Each structure stands twice: as structure tokens, then as C-alpha cells.
Structure 1
């Protein structure tokens, strides 16, 4: 996959160094210790505008992070309705004191505002690959030649998505987005709205395990939340247990519609030993927290204005 050019300039703010990086045209504030999204298809580089940033204290405290989001105008009601863009702000980890917030609603809104940019960024990366894949598939279907560079890219994509026979139909069904509503609901359920020990220690949002254990628990460690979200989406797109989900998503695409998070939940029987009970729980989470609205959310290209660091 072609990597976008990465530009940066350094801004100093209290105890935090914030790097404004252009990754394939996607400007992000990368907190100290975080890694920006990579391997996003290259696009035109936008101009650098006034940039918001967070102090180290803002990142470490759930209450201060909530206040910082409010100062930025980052509100779930407006981004969910598509009235404003989701700021491209990627936190490396969830604040460790999230469970200390005084009420459950605040805890949920902080968690969702941390997660939503990450999910949208992963989906954007996949959508870029899917667009190029569909273009090449159409070219092959009309018996037009595919250049050596494009063929190499296709081969690498097929290997990454574990399609061994070069079947383009299978590859197209795998290289597709996961609706934000589904990713948000599963991350909330699996991580206790970001409060589980596994999330705090390993940034493991979805309960990923490993065959060769990194520690005594056999649970996978992630360097950042972005890596965890990326692994989750890749798992849904490649593991044989989710063939039904991919078929349902492809059927929706064939009808000219975008993937439906609420409908895709039915294909997650194999995600948990709880089976149908797990599916019911995820649907309930989506309904009670109105998560489907975030399927209309858009990831912004710049952070909204300059935000003064908290005192």
C-alpha cells in the first residue's frame, strides 16, 4: 500500500509536545507516545491552519479531557448529525481515571469522543484502498491492462487480507469498512467503556488474544488505541468466523447502500462465547446510546481553532 507523505511541525505546550502531521493529507494532533495513522492513500496536502492542542494534564485526566473537548466544540450531538466534523485527534490511550468521573453519561461521552476519530481514521484508510481496488477490478473486468505497479499493489493487498487465490470478488468483500456504530458498541462492551484493566495496561480494547503470549495472560499488547482499532477491523475483515458478516455487508453494497451497523450485528454470533446473548447486548448498546447516528460522522482535516491549554 502506498504511504502518504508525512510532514510535521513542532508546537510546544506545557508538558506536551504535539506534532501536527500530514499523513496522506490527514492532519492530526499526535500526543506524545502516539503513532499517527500510516499507509493512507496519498492525497493533496492541505494548508496548515491554526491548531488546537492538549496539555499533558488534559490527556491524563478524564475530567480535564472532557473540558478540553468542550472548549474545542467537540460535541457528539453535532458530529453525529453530520453538522460538524469529528476533529482528527488521536489519543494513544484512554485516561486512567475514566471510571472516577461522577456520572456514567460523562464517562460514556468521553470514551466515545476518544474512540470516534480512531474508528473513522481506520475506515478512511480502508475506504481509500477499496476505491483503488474497485477501480482495478473494473479495469480487469473490461479486459484493460493493469500495470506492474498496480499488480504489485493488488498482490500485496491480497496477501494482507489473506486471499490466497487472487479472487477479486473475495478481496472486494474483505476490503471494506466497519460501521462506526458497530465498532463503538463492541469497544464499549469489551472494555467496560474504556475502564478495564486490559485497556489501561495494554490498550487492548476488544479482548484480542495471542497464540504466543506477550505476558502471562495471553492477551495482546498494543502500542496505541489506533493499533487496537486497526487490528479489530482487520480481524472482522479476514477471520473465517466472520464470513457471514462479510457476506451481509457485500449484499448491502450490491443494493447500493452503505454497510448497516445494526444489521451486521446479527452476524457476530461467533465473536463471543455468549452467542445470541452477546448479539442482543451489542444491539441494546447501539440502541440505548443512539450509536447508529455516528455512521454519518465525518473525520475533519484540521482541528477547530486554537485552544488555550488548561490552567
Structure 2
């Protein structure tokens, strides 16, 4: 190899005549360099496989969880699928961040932003009724408040766009597209802002929690466990995900609509109350409360839900009983906390 390398060097390149001693010195240096490269490859070969870059920053001792969700907890799986957690796992995490219902009921603290995707897989196995109810309410309350928070933000945007349009200002294309989608979502014809704002409004936490408890058997129903369906909403749309009820009558085609997570179920429930003709009385009472600058009362709004169930007035009585027994009316003034929550990273939380 070295002889081949030497024989291919043009000693008279560019017709520059140099001394033979200088030429041999250059060749010697080239030969030494070539041998050095060969030996280094032999004793320390190059790794031709790709390697992941190493971290150049130390890992933090704690993890900040703000406006996030507890989607999965390590070591908590069930027969339905991985990524779900047990009631004891979730309860211990709630205790770590000091999340308890009593201070919230007293109005002393705000609700932490912990948005859980699924109910615990073993909720129905809990023998202590009060503990099961506590897990159920602590899981759903932040989600209810989050859905209402989204509606409030959308209302603010509608008011801003309405004002701009009233002032004769041209709306941006993205705002026009957004408005078209909002009018369609809330089934408002004629682009009436008044009708849209009557429909686009919040549902008090007490009402949402009480109905979720009633409709899902406190989160233990098959539909809640398998499809995150908290409110037993029917669907006839073949494009919707759904669960066929056991014992569905011959010739019936309805299914119980299922959702990817609990938040999806809550959003569908609120939209149902805000758009279905059967709940026009609820929207009318809520509008009156807003006009009178009253705090929204889930207890009063429940009086309008005689068409929500075939049980009629009996259903309303059941909803009121759940509210009374668990002091749910006091959650109507609850708000989400914007502060950061510090949690240890011994187990992944998000």
C-alpha cells in the first residue's frame, strides 16, 4: 500500500525542482501519517451505528405540572388497557399536591389543574362509599371547571368580534371561519349573536357532578368504564364511537356514545344542554340569572330537567338529593388555580 502511494506522487509537480533530501523528507512524513491512521483504525475502530446524543444538562429533582393532565401512572394497569390507574394511586397523588374537597367547599382554596383522562379502573371495588365519592368528585371537578373555562374564553372572543363587526370593522379570515364553525356548533341560524350567547354559556359544577353521578352510577357503569361515557348519551350516528346496550330491543339501532377521555364526555354533555330543544327552559332560566346578575345555581337549573329522563320529576328529585347529600351547590363558585404544582419525579405523572 505504501509503495503504491509513493509511486503515485509526482516528484516533478509544476516543474519545481527540489532537493532529493527534501522530497524524501516529505514522503517520510506522509508515510508516518498513513501508518498512524491505519493503526488507530485497527486498535480503535469507528462505530458505524448511530448514537443518541447525551444530555448536557442535569435532570431536575422535581417536575413542574401546570395546566397538565395525569394521563398515566407507572405500575397501574387494568384489564381494559394500559395507562389507567387505581383509586389508591390517584388518591395518593391528590394528597401529594394537597388536593382535598373540604377546603374547596369552604371556598378557602382553588381547584388544582390536574386533568385526569380516565376514572380509576377499580372504582367499583372500593368498599368505603365516602372514599369512592371523594375520588369521583376530585377527578371530575377540575374537568368540569376546565370545560366551563373554555366556554368563557369563547364567549369573550364572540363579544370582541361582535363589537368589531358593530363598529364596521372587517373581520379577519380566521375570525370569520371560527364564527361560522361556532354558529354551526351551537345550531344558531341567521348568525344571531344574541341567540349564540344564550346558548354558549357554562353549566354549574353542582349540576354536572350530580348528573354524572346519577347517570354513571358514580363512575361504575359499564359505559363509564369502557367508554368514558358519564351521561349515557344516545347516538344514532354510525360515525360516532358507541357501545351497544345489553338487552337492546329488537329493531333498535341506538348506541351509548363513547369518548376517548372524560373531558370529551363532559364537553358533549354541556353541548347537549346548550343546543338540544328539550333543554330550552334551562337556557332560558340561565339567561335570566345572567341578566339579573345572579350567581348560576345548579340546584335551580335542575328544576328544568324534567325531559332529561323518562323519570321526569322523580329524576329531578334524585339530582337534588345528590346535591344536598354532598353539598355540591358550594362547588358552583369554585375556580381553577393558576399556580404551579411541584411534584416529585419518582414516578412519571404526565
TM-score by length of 1: 0.79
CA contact (8 A) 1:89 1:303 kept: no
Once residues 134 and 29 of structure 1 are traced to their aligned partners in structure 2, the CA distance between those partners, rounded to angstroms, is 30
2:244 match: 216
RMSD: 2.5
Runs of 4+ aligned residues of structure 1 deviating over 6 Å after TM superposition are: none
2:21 match: none
2:194 is the alignment partner of 1:169 = yes
2:279 is the alignment partner of 1:242 = yes
| Counterpart mapping for 1:17-166 below 5 A | 27-32=67-72, 54-57=73-76, 60-140=85-165, 143-149=167-173, 150-166=175-191
SS at match of 1:185: helix
2:229 match: 204
Once residues 340 and 137 of structure 2 are traced to their aligned partners in structure 1, the CA distance between those partners, rounded to angstroms, is 17
Aligned length: 269
- More displaced, 111-120 or 291-300? 291-300
CA contact (8 A) 1:92 1:226 kept: yes
Once residues 292 and 303 of structure 1 are traced to their aligned partners in structure 2, the CA distance between those partners, rounded to angstroms, is 27
User: Per-residue deviation at 1:308?
Assistant: 6.0
Once residues 55 and 135 of structure 1 are traced to their aligned partners in structure 2, the CA distance between those partners, rounded to angstroms, is 44
CA contact (8 A) 2:296 2:332 kept: no
1:138 to 1:263, Cα distance in 2 relative to 1, 3 A: farther
2:308 is the alignment partner of 1:271 = yes
The Cα offsets for residues 220-241 of structure 1, whole Å up to 9 and x where unpaired, read as: 1111011000100010011111
Uncovered stretches (5+) of structure 2, i.e. residues with no partner: 1-58, 78-83, 246-254
Once residues 340 and 130 of structure 2 are traced to their aligned partners in structure 1, the CA distance between those partners, rounded to angstroms, is 25
Once residues 181 and 12 of structure 1 are traced to their aligned partners in structure 2, the CA distance between those partners, rounded to angstroms, is 39
Once residues 160 and 293 of structure 2 are traced to their aligned partners in structure 1, the CA distance between those partners, rounded to angstroms, is 17
- More displaced, 97-106 or 226-235? 97-106
Greater gyration radius: 2
CA contact (8 A) 2:223 2:243 kept: no
CA contact (8 A) 1:72 1:307 kept: no
1:104 to 1:169, Cα distance in 2 relative to 1, 3 A: same
Once residues 170 and 331 of structure 2 are traced to their aligned partners in structure 1, the CA distance between those partners, rounded to angstroms, is 37
TM-score by length of 2: 0.71
Once residues 284 and 12 of structure 1 are traced to their aligned partners in structure 2, the CA distance between those partners, rounded to angstroms, is 48
2:289 is the alignment partner of 1:280 = no
SS at match of 2:234: coil
CA contact (8 A) 2:206 2:329 kept: yes
